[in-house]
């Protein structure tokens, strides 16, 4: 009886002891979890401190266990001292080497931009425009009688006029007109390269040189005896004729291999020269510009004779558009007496007439048909004939489109050019009223090719209001609307 109770008591004691051991183990496990979390937190703190302090010494276990505030301050102080130690690379002046815990790091050094005084910038730009070195500049200043200074002297816009006049007397520059064209080109380049951060004074100084350059160019054309390097014109012709000839030559150079040269008259310089010419000497311009425009029309007529024989752009038609870019030149062009003249078979008297004469009609001009279409036609030459027809169509369409754009520009240039253009159109149509008769006097009318080109251009001009649904048609008054 008692033995059975003793056995049960022993079993109860063993279970109790086992339960106490389990609770102790669980408690120990909980304590270990707390210790692990705290250890991880300390290690993370130590890693953050070592990362932020480049080159700091490794901390021992005691410092990890006790991360007090003094330790953090010492670590941050060492980090700032180490990060500021940058050694310049002797081989390169734009980088430096910084020592860190992971090794040497090459970092770029930021340079402070050097500030150049405005006086020096103006000096460099004006000397570049004149194509002068410092030694040449000192010599020209001495010849021009400008005051000398002991220290460095900077060229100013006020001295540019005197230096340019002396430079034009220097035989080393060659031709004065070519030199002035090069100076104008360099001045425009300097203006285009100026950044927005630079001073406005520099821009104004460069802009003040442009009127001087074009005025000296006009003086070299009309009064060449004033300069040693100016061209010597023959006395048999007037200076106005030579001035017009030179401008025409400059326009022709843009079509050749020298189109990119800097010593020829650029379209921008031509516009400025005509503007200041009309302001300073309008009577002189009124004699030179008509001669130039007539020469331009004559050169375009020679080109138009070959326009249908070769698929090439019409350079002189484009040149006429560039020549009429200044408003002063455009007004002179439309005010010329022969601008509104009527054209017939026997003579093309108007300035725009040569642009309407090209034709591919065999009975009027057989040069195109003989050059593009051979007499012996075989099946193998069908493709060549198609290519020839396409080339002629392309040339005619290019010509008509160019003339249409020119007339449209003249019509939109003001009341006076518009009135002159409409007068010219009316004269051409009234001259060809004989074509409505069964037996017309052919010598008193224009050619069929002329009328085909004129009709095509007029239809292009009428296209905006030719559509019955166009609102612009309501503004047109004609007899059918009454």
Please tell me which of 199-203, 418-422, 468-472, 476-480 the model is most confident about, judged by mean pLDDT. 418-422
Q: What angle do CA 389, 367, 430 make, to 5 degrees?
A: 90
Please list, in sequence order, all residues whose beta carbon lies within 8 angstroms of the beta carbon of residue 154, skipping any fewer than 6 positions away: 119, 120, 122, 123
Q: Report how far apart, in Å, the C-alpha atoms of 391 and of each of 303, 307, 386, 460 are.
A: 16, 10, 9, 21
pLDDT tens across 360-399, in order? 887 777 777 777 666 555 555 567 777 777 888 888 898 9
User: Is residue 98 within a helix (H) or strand (E), and if so which, with residue range?
Assistant: strand 95-100
- Dihedral of CA 327/329/330/335: which sign? positive
Tell me the Cα Rg of the chain: 45
Q: Is 180 exposed, middle or buried (0-12, 13-18, 19+ CB in 10 A)?
A: buried
Structure tokens given for 461: 């001009």
Partners of 99 in the beta sheet?
104
pLDDT tens across 85-106, in order? 444 445 555 555 555 555 555 5
Mark residue 151 as left, alpha or beta (left: phi above 0; alpha: psi -120 to 50; beta: remaining). beta
For 103, phi then psi, to 5°, come to: 125, -175
Q: Which residues of 430-444 are buried (b: 16+ CB within 10 A; e: fewer)?
A: ebbeeeeeeeeeeee
pTM: 0.69
Number of Cβ within 10 Å of residue 341's Cβ equals: 19
pLDDT tens across 331-364, in order? 999 999 999 999 988 888 899 999 998 888 877 7
d(CA 88, CA 91): 9
- The residue extents of the domains of the chain are 21-78, 117-280, 286-482
d(CA 123, CA 138): 13
Residue-level pLDDT at 438: 79
3-state secondary structure (DSSP) of residue 331: helix
Mark residue 460 as left, alpha or beta (left: phi above 0; alpha: psi -120 to 50; beta: remaining). alpha
More confident residue, 280 or 26: 280
Q: What angle do CA 80, 84, 90 make, to 5 degrees?
A: 160
Residue 472 above 70 pLDDT?
A: yes
Mark residue 344 as left, alpha or beta (left: phi above 0; alpha: psi -120 to 50; beta: remaining). beta
Q: Are 269 and 322 in contact (CB under 8 A)?
A: no
Q: Identify which of 178, 176, 183 has the alpha carbon closest to the alpha carbon of residue 125.
A: 183
Number of Cβ within 10 Å of residue 124's Cβ equals: 15
Number of Cβ within 10 Å of residue 403's Cβ equals: 21
């Amino acid at each position: 009886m008692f033995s059975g109770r003793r056995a049960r008591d022993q079993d109860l004691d063993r279970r109790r002891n086992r339960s106490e051991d389990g609770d102790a183990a669980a408690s120990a496990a909980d304590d270990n979890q707390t210790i692990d979390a705290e250890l991880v937190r300390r290690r993370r703190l130590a890693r953050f401190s070592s990362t932020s302090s480049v080159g700091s010494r490794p901390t021992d276990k005691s410092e990890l266990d006790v991360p007090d505030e003094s330790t953090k301050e010492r670590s941050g102080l060492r980090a700032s001292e180490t990060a500021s130690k940058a050694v310049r690379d002797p081989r390169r002046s734009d980088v430096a080497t910084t020592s860190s815990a992971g090794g040497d790091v090459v970092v770029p050094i930021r340079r402070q931009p050097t500030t150049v005084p405005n006086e020096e910038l103006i000096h460099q730009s004006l000397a570049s425009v004149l194509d002068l070195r410092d030694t040449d500049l000192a010599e020209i200043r001495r010849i021009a009688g400008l005051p000398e200074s002991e220290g460095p002297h900077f060229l100013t816009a006020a001295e540019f006029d005197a230096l340019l006049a002396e430079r034009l007397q220097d035989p080393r520059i060659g031709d004065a007109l070519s030199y002035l064209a090069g100076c104008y080109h360099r001045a425009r380049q300097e203006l285009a390269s100026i950044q927005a951060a630079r001073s406005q004074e520099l821009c104004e100084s460069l802009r003040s040189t442009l009127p001087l350059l074009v005025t000296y160019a006009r003086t070299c054309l009309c009064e060449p005896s004033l300069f040693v390097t100016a061209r010597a014109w023959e006395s048999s012709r007037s200076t106005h004729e030579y001035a017009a000839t030179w401008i025409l030559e400059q326009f022709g150079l843009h079509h050749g291999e020298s189109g990119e040269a800097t010593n020829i008259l650029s379209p921008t310089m031509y516009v400025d020269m005509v503007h200041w010419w009309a302001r300073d000497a309008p009577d002189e311009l009124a004699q030179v510009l008509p001669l130039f425009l007539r020469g331009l029309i004559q050169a375009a007529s020679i080109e138009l004779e070959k326009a249908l024989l070769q698929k090439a752009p019409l350079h002189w038609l484009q040149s006429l558009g560039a020549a009429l870019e200044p408003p002063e030149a455009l007004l002179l062009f439309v005010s010329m007496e022969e601008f509104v003249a009527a054209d017939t078979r026997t003579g093309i008297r108007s300035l725009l007439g040569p642009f309407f004469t090209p034709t591919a009609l065999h009975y009027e001009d057989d040069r195109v048909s003989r050059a593009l279409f051979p007499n012996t036609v075989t099946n193998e030459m069908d493709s060549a004939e198609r290519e020839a027809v396409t080339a002629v169509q392309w040339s005619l369409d290019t010509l008509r489109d160019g003339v249409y754009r020119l007339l449209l520009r003249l019509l939109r240039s003001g009341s006076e050019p518009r009135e002159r253009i409409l007068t010219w159109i009316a004269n051409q149509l009234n001259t060809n009223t004989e074509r409505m008769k069964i037996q017309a006097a052919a010598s008193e009318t224009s050619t069929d090719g002329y009328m085909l080109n004129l009709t095509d251009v007029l239809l292009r001009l009428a296209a905006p209001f030719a559509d019955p649904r166009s609102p612009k048609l309501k503004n047109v008054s004609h007899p059918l609307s009454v």
